[in-house]
Amino acid sequence: MAKIIRNSALAATFVLALVFTLSCSGGKDWLNNIAGQLTSITASNLLQNPSLGFMSNAPGVPDGEVDVIKNVEISGSALSGGSVLVTVTSSEKLEELYLQIEGEDGYYVWTLEPEDLISSNPYVYQIALEFNKDLEGGEKDDPKELEFIVSGKTAKGDVVEPKQKELKTVKAGTGALQISLSWDKNHDVDLHVFSPSEHLYFNNLTIEATEAHGKAELDIDSNRGCIIDGVNSENIFFEAPLEDGDYKVEVRVYEKCNTGAGAKYRVTANLKGKFVEFSENQSGQFADTDDDDYKVVIGTIKIRDGECTNCN
């Protein structure tokens, strides 16, 4: 799996060492290719999944002729600092996905793992893409539209024919701490965050700033009352300074607006521009139930002096 080199100084030192070694041995073409990739990986790209590689020296995704990707679905609108679920259906087993977003000069490489496969007849893969705060978005009722291209490589080693999909993006509040929820069905799902002093949810949208803490707000409430808006995301953010204490995160299915299995969900937490993991329950699937009290306790973010003490 491609790995991101997070320390730019280390990456630069490595590239310089390669320059000296390979310039003496005649490997300049190979060097130019690797140096370009390392430079891109240390840059600030729109996607921030830790396991993604980014190839900036390519004009676009590899363009194969094997037509095996039959469908690409995006769970809703992408939020700045949030995530979406992408579902890819293929007639053959895939080894890698190649992803390109309009406005970027390269493409991402996602090496598929067993946990990404949700069905094998046909092959259906689902991945969660995490976007940084630089993602430009429109309004909830007028999202910005970007071209999203998916290609890949089969288990046989064949590069597949790319498929194009529209990626809708919505601007969201980020603040010092941002907690977002996305899901893949047209259901009314609600994000609840219990801060150290107050409960933020659809009936309590805002916490006013005080000397002890900044403003907090639920600024995106999707599919309320089963009025389907296509966003399928909710967002709560806290401005600095952050109040010391526990921030308990829950997700509740307010109403199933159509039939079928329970929605798959993803909760992302972004602390000062960096995605953090605080629970094994940040991704999952809701039970197929009509229980009005059904909820999933995602976990608790413990904040002390503006930092998370239990996050990875």
Same domain, 200 and 300: yes
Domain identity same for 151 and 210: no
Residues 156 and 190 occupy one common structural domain = no
Examine the fold and report which residue of 144, 169, 194 is the final residue of a domain before the chain moves on.
Answer: 169
State the Cα–Cα distance between residues 187 and 254, nearest whole angstrom: 8
Are 265 and 185 in contact by the 8 Å Cβ rule? The answer is no
Whether residues 36 and 99 share a domain: the answer is no
Do 143 and 185 fall within a single domain? no
* Domains in the chain, number: 3
- Judge contact between 303 and 245, C-beta under 8 A: yes
Is residue 254 a part of any domain in this protein? Answer: yes
Residue ranges in the chain whose pLDDT is less than 70: 1-44
**Nearest partner of 167 among 202, 195, 129, judged by Cα:** 129
* Same-domain pairing of 97 and 144: yes
CB atoms under 10 Å from CB of 194, counted, come to 16
- The DSSP code for 203 is T
Whether 55 is in a domain gets the answer no
Pairing of β 163-170 and β 78-79: parallel
Q: Note the helical H segments in the chain.
A: 8-25, 28-42
138, part of any domain: yes
User: Is residue 297, in this structure, part of any structural domain at all?
Assistant: yes
Q: What is the pLDDT of residue 262?
A: 87
Contact 202, 192 (CB under 8 A): no
pLDDT attached to residue 37: 42
Residue 53 lies in a domain: no
Structural domain for 212, as ranges: 173-308
59 in any annotated domain = no
- Residue 136 and residue 23 share a domain: no
Nearest to 262 by CA among 272, 252, 271, 270: 252
Within this chain, do residues 26 and 101 fall inside the same structural domain, yes or no?
no
> 108, 100 in Cβ contact below 8 A?
yes
In a domain, 62, yes or no: no
Asked if 311 and 246 count as a contact pair (C-beta separation under 8 A), the reply is no
pLDDT in tens, 78-102: 999 999 999 999 999 999 999 999 9
pLDDT of residue 59: 87
Phi, psi (rounded to 5 degrees) for 11? -65, -40
Q: What's the confidence (pLDDT) of residue 10?
A: 38
CA-derived radius of gyration, the chain: 21
pLDDT of the residue at 31: 41
Q: What value, to the nearest 5°, has the Cα angle with vertex 125 and ends 120 and 126?
A: 140
Q: What is the pTM of this model?
A: 0.83
> For residues 299 and 279, what is the distance between their CA atoms, to the nearest angstrom?
6
Give me 219's structure tokens: 């600024």
Q: What is the pLDDT of residue 44?
A: 59
Residues 279 and 189 placed together within one structural domain of the fold: yes
Q: CA 118, CA 111: separation in Å to the nearest integer?
A: 15
Name the helix (H) or strand (E) containing 266: strand 264-271
Phi, psi of 114 (to 5 degrees): -55, -35
Same domain, 196 and 216: yes
Give the whole-angstrom CA distance, residue 215 versus residue 218: 11
183 shares a domain with 159: no
The H or E element containing residue 169 is: strand 163-170
55, 64, 197 from 127: Cα distances, Å:
19, 22, 35
Q: What token pair was written down for 273?
A: 């521009």
